[in-house]
Amino acid sequence: IETIGVLTSGGDAPGMNAAIRAVVRTALHYGMKVKGIMRGYSGLLDEEFIDMNARSVADIINRGGTILYTARCMEMVTEEGQRQAAEICKKHGIDGVVVIGGDGSFKGAGKLSKLGINTIGVPGTIDLDIACTEYTIGFDTAVNTAIDAIDKVRDTSTSHERCSIIEVMGRHAGYIALWSGIATGSDAILIPEHYDGNEQEIVNHIIASRKRGKKHFIIINAEGIGHSSSMAKRIEAATGIETRATILGYMQRGGSPSCKDRFYASIMGSKAVDLLAEGKSNRLVAYRNGEFCDFDIEEALRMKKDIPAYQLELSAKLTR
Ligand code: F6P
């Protein structure tokens, strides 16, 4: 492999820059040339490339977002788009690509690999919703941002003796909700994988706790359940306690990455290039059982993930 490309795709996540930096510097270590592909697969199809050297990735490890920009590209879902992407890589002498993103991005990477471009995926998403790995770049920073925000909302909830419903991101997955809910000692944690819609149970808990003198209530609601504002209205009507909804939104996606996100992203980015240097393709870098490893992309995409049973039990024991 002489020249590799690197792109970020899907939602941005803190730590992506650390991964890009590790890809570039590891590739240079192997004597490879590196092209930064702008705006994910959209930039690949538009041939938006930049030559990268060690200096291109200086001063970025501490920055959130992605210096390569990112996009969700519908064209890459089509066979025509995939064929074109592979041809463009060949035309520019790119024989390996590191794709930093989520499941959707890895589908494209798998297709590129079948079309003769060596591709390696690196899991970058705040949602932690990639089945083969227990760590994804950005999750640690996102949950830390969420707990800071929840702690702040709690101050106001306590002062006003209110109930707060705080909605956190995660798309269809409840990891951010579960971790931030447990880490802030919340009263209820609602996650799409397991929420049965039983609002009455929450209402009963609030009424009983208020009778015992509890001043404030924090309910963490995952984006996958959503409708926090209408939920707040119903809970206020049923309990008689002022209830407000706060949707944390994109603040969870930005910001300077935590140490863990910088360090793990560095390892994963570097490992992706090690794999390319070994002549591997169609692999996804992962972290499992305390070790960094890699999986076949199709195998990884077929894997299913659920919240670990013990964490769910813990959530039940420590909340209502
Ligand atoms: O995948 C990260 C994420 O922030 C999800 O939690 C959320 O559902 C989605 O991206 C929002 O995507 P967009 O950037 O298109 O608004």
End-to-end CA distance of the chain: 56
Q: Encode pLDDT of 94-142 as tens digits.
A: 999 999 999 999 999 999 999 999 999 999 999 999 999 999 999 999 9
Q: What is the mean pLDDT of residues 186-211?
A: 95
Residue 152 pLDDT: 98
Our answer on whether the CB atom of 167 is closer than 6 Å to any ligand 1 atom is: no
Q: Which atom from ligand 1 is nearest to the alpha carbon of 170?
A: 6
Which residues are CB-contacts of 85 (< 8 A; sequence separation ≥ 6)?
A: 41, 44, 45, 76, 108, 112, 115, 117
Q: How far is the CA of 93 from the centre of ligand 1 (A)?
A: 33
Give the pTM.
Answer: 0.97
On the question of pLDDT at 71 being above 80, the answer is yes
Q: How far is the CA of 265 from the centre of ligand 1 (A)?
A: 20
* Burial class of 259 by CB neighbour count within 10 A (0 to 12, 13 to 18, 19+): exposed
* Atom from ligand 1 closest to the CA of residue 223: 8
Q: Render pLDDT for 248-298 as a digit per residue (tens, 0 to 9).
A: 999 999 999 999 999 999 999 999 999 999 999 999 999 999 999 999 999
Check if 125 has its Cβ closer than 6 Å to any atom of ligand 1: yes
pLDDT band at 320 (very low <50, low <70, confident <90, very high): low
* pLDDT of 48 over the 70 cut: yes
Residue 215's pLDDT is 87
